[in-house]
Amino acid sequence: MTSPAVEANADGLIGPTHSYAGLSPGNLASSLNKGEASNPRAAVLQGLEKMKLLADLGLPQFVLPPHERPDIGFLRSLGFAGSDGQVLETAWKQAPSLAAAACSASPMWAANAATVTPSADSADGRLHFTPANLVTNLHRSLEHAQTKRALDALFPDPARFAVHDALPSVGHLADEGAANHVRLCADHGSAGVNLLVWGREAWEGWDGPYPARQTREASEALARRHGASGVVLARQGKAAIAGGTFHNDVVCVGALDTLFFHELAFEDTAATLEAVRRAADGFEPKFVEVSATDLPLADAISSYLFNSMLIRIPGEDRLTLICPTETEENPRSRAVAERIAGSNGPIGQVRYVDVRQSMRNGGGPACLRLRVVLNEAELAATSDAMRFTPALHAKLNEWAGRHYRDELTPRDLADPQLLEESRGALDELTGILSLGSGFYPFQRS
Q: Which residues bind ligand SUG (CB under 6 A)?
A: 19-24, 27, 30, 104, 106, 109, 111-112, 140, 179, 246-247, 249-250, 361-363, 367
Pairing of strands 286-290, 258-262: parallel
Q: Which is nearer to ligand SUG, 298 or 394 (CB)?
A: 298
**Closest distance of CB 180 from ligand SUG, Å:** 9
Question: Do 250 and 244 contact (CB within 8 A), yes or no?
Answer: yes
Q: Which is nearer to ligand SUG, 305 or 392 (CB)?
A: 305
Q: What 8-state DSSP symbol labels residue 408?
A: B
**Closest distance of CB 283 from ligand SUG, Å:** 26
* 3-state DSSP assignment of residue 273: helix
Identify the active-site residue in 7, 68, 143, 176: 176
Identify the active-site residue in 89, 367, 378, 403: 367
In 304-415, where does DSSP find H-type helix? 325-329, 331-342, 356-359, 376-380, 390-403
**Closest distance of CB 363 from ligand SUG, Å:** 4
**Closest distance of CB 364 from ligand SUG, Å:** 7
**Closest distance of CB 300 from ligand SUG, Å:** 13
Residue 107 CA to its chain's centroid (Å): 8
Q: Which is nearer to ligand SUG, 106 or 327 (CB)?
A: 106
Which residues, at least 6 apart from 298, have a Cβ–Cβ distance to it below 8 Å?
A: 243, 244
Length in residues, the chain: 445
Q: Which is nearer to ligand SUG, 190 or 330 (CB)?
A: 330
Question: Do 142 and 74 contact (CB within 8 A), yes or no?
Answer: yes
373, containing H or E segment: strand 369-375
CA distance 79 to 343: 60
Which residues, at least 6 apart from 443, have a Cβ–Cβ distance to it below 8 Å?
A: 427, 430, 437
| Cα R_g (the chain), whole angstroms | 20
CB atoms within 10 A of CB 168: 12
Q: Is 252 annotated in the active site?
A: no
Identify the active-site residue in 247, 263, 328, 403: 247
Q: Which is nearer to ligand SUG, 30 or 258 (CB)?
A: 30
Q: Is 176 annotated in the active site?
A: yes
Query: Smallest Cα–Cα separation from 28: which of 325, 244, 265?
Result: 244
**Closest distance of CB 333 from ligand SUG, Å:** 17
CA distance 259 to 364: 18
Q: Is 247 annotated in the active site?
A: yes
**Closest distance of CB 43 from ligand SUG, Å:** 12
Query: Smallest Cα–Cα separation from 18: which of 357, 411, 356?
Result: 357
Q: Which is nearer to ligand SUG, 155 or 246 (CB)?
A: 246
Which residues, at least 6 apart from 361, have a Cβ–Cβ distance to it below 8 Å?
A: 20, 24, 27, 29, 30, 33, 106
Question: Do 323 and 337 contact (CB within 8 A), yes or no?
Answer: yes
Q: Which is nearer to ligand SUG, 116 or 280 (CB)?
A: 116
Active site residues: 176, 247, 367
